[in-house]
Structure 1
Amino acid sequence: MNIYLLTHSRELKRKTNTGVLVQQTLATQCSIFEWQRKQPNPTLMQHIQNESVALLYPHDHSVRLDKQQVLKFDSYILIDATWQEAQKMYNHSPYLHDLSKVVLKPDVASIYTLRRNQKTSGLCTSECVSALLNLYGQTTQANILDNKLTSHIKSLR
């Protein structure tokens, strides 16, 4: 499983960003692509064309991701930004519109409390990737990522 983080330029500068935790934990399984409104990243576009890629994004047409669904895809794109930025990024990125869309339905609330205007059922980037890892049976990496997130949150309070 590969994770592609489509990251807003402002997100790359935020101390509250959790995509960096994903990159640190997954190293070769995670790539960060800075989102450009006018020109999609050519490497990301190659991945979309050559792999079975799903967009993890809450949308009207999103399918709930479970242990059966997760095996249908080689890779996942996550939009790494605030909720408001993520919606704008999606709307301005037609190449994302035709991708299969999947969504996680968390059993527990997010522990991420570093930003205002959070969706009540939403997860931060790190929590989403941790849930994916658990669905893939990669619980050790998921636990490492969860521990990094907890430490990250504590360090910023």
Structure 2
Amino acid sequence: MKIFLLTHERELLRPTNTGVLAQNVAPEIVERIVWARNEPNPSLLNAINQGNTVLLYPLDDADVAPIESFENIILLDATWQEARKIFNRSPYLKNLPRAQINPQQMSQYQLRRNQPEGGLCTAECIMEILKAKSHTDIAERLNSAFGIFNSKIRN
């Protein structure tokens, strides 16, 4: 399994970015790719072209793929506004099957404005993916790291 974090460049400078936690906890699973509008990453395009890749992105319709049945998951690592920009300006993402997660709890990450109801931060999304893919031990390690991160960032 591979989780590709398609990351907006501004996210790299934010001390509140949680994608880095997942990358540190599970470097063998989580790969960060900085989004470049005009130069898509070759390894990401290769994963897309090989199939078995899904985009975790909210849907308005009922055409949802079960995340458990995919080996590669692309997650947009950005603010909600930046994530929409990445999606809208990346034609290679448009035809991917899309999945969404149904979290069991509300987000514990309350630092960003304009967070939609039910929205999760990057680390929380990755925890949900890991649980769905039966990687509960890694999900628990990420949850512990996220708890420490969250308490530090709030203080």
Instruction: Give the TM-score normalised by the residue count of structure 1.
Output: 0.92
In the alignment, is the contact (CA less than 8 A) between 1:64 and 1:104 conserved in 2?
A: no
Which amino acid counterpart does residue 134 of structure 2 have in structure 1?
G
Specify the alignment match of 2:41 in structure 1.
41
Q: Within 5 Å, give how 1:8-157 maps onto structure 2.
A: 8-61=8-61, 63-64=63-64, 69-157=66-154
**Unaligned runs of at least 5 residues, structure 1:** none
Residues 63, 112 of structure 1: CA spacing in aligned structure 2 closer, same or farther, 3 A cutoff? farther
In the alignment, is the contact (CA less than 8 A) between 1:54 and 1:77 conserved in 2?
A: yes
Residues 61, 40 of structure 1: CA spacing in aligned structure 2 closer, same or farther, 3 A cutoff? farther
Which amino acid counterpart does residue 29 of structure 2 have in structure 1?
Q
Aligned sequence identity (%): 42
1:108 to partner: Cα distance: 1.0
Instruction: Give the TM-score normalised by the residue count of structure 2.
Output: 0.94
Structure 2 Cα separation of the partners of residues 101 and 57 of structure 1:
6
More displaced 10-residue stretch of structure 1: 42-51 or 13-22: 42-51
Runs of 4+ off more than 6 Å? none
Structure 1 Cα separation of the partners of residues 2 and 106 of structure 2:
25
- CA RMSD in angstroms comes to 1.4
Structure 1 Cα separation of the partners of residues 67 and 84 of structure 2:
23
Structure 2 Cα separation of the partners of residues 54 and 9 of structure 1:
22
- Secondary structure at the counterpart of residue 152 of structure 2: helix
More displaced 10-residue stretch of structure 1: 19-28 or 74-83: 19-28
In the alignment, is the contact (CA less than 8 A) between 1:7 and 1:79 conserved in 2?
A: yes
Structure 2 Cα separation of the partners of residues 95 and 11 of structure 1:
21
**Unaligned runs of at least 5 residues, structure 2:** none
The alignment covers a number of residue pairs equal to 154
